[in-house]
Amino acid sequence: MEKPVGHQANTHTYGKYIFVWLALLAFTAITVAVAGINLGNYSIVLAIVIACMKSYLVLTIFMHLKVEQKAFKIFLFVALLFIFITFALLFSDYSFM
């Protein structure tokens, strides 16, 4: 059976998957540890930054977005942009209450 044109074979090794999994566990532990520290409004910002780093690892390594076509990456960027705008509007409304 032939491979579709434009798709590359998965070149990740088990070591890379294990490393990313350990990084995700470490980020989760950092999130839990920071949740116990009172940083004020920075707690939410730090939790969102860590969640963004974790989602980047999952999207690029486990979901293989590094080898996807450019149109798919553009659609994903637009979706993430709208999520970012929604969060920005939500937090700006919440902060002025």
In a domain, 29, yes or no: yes
Residue whose tokens read 């490393």 = 19
74 inside domain: no
Q: What is the pLDDT of residues 74-96, one digit of tens each?
A: 888 899 899 889 988 888 877 77
pTM of the entire predicted model: 0.65
Q: Determine, yes or no, domain membership for 97.
A: no
33-79 residue pLDDT tens: 888 888 887 888 888 899 989 988 998 888 877 777 888 888 888 99
Residue 93: inside a domain: no
User: Is 64 part of any domain?
Assistant: yes
Return all residues near 12 (Cβ < 8 A) that are at least 6 apart: 61, 64
Range of the domain at 64: 14-68
The Cα 86–Cα 75 span in angstroms is 17
62 and 14 Cβ atoms separated by less than 8 Å = no
- Tell whether 38 is covered by a domain: yes
**Number of structural domains the chain divides into:** 1
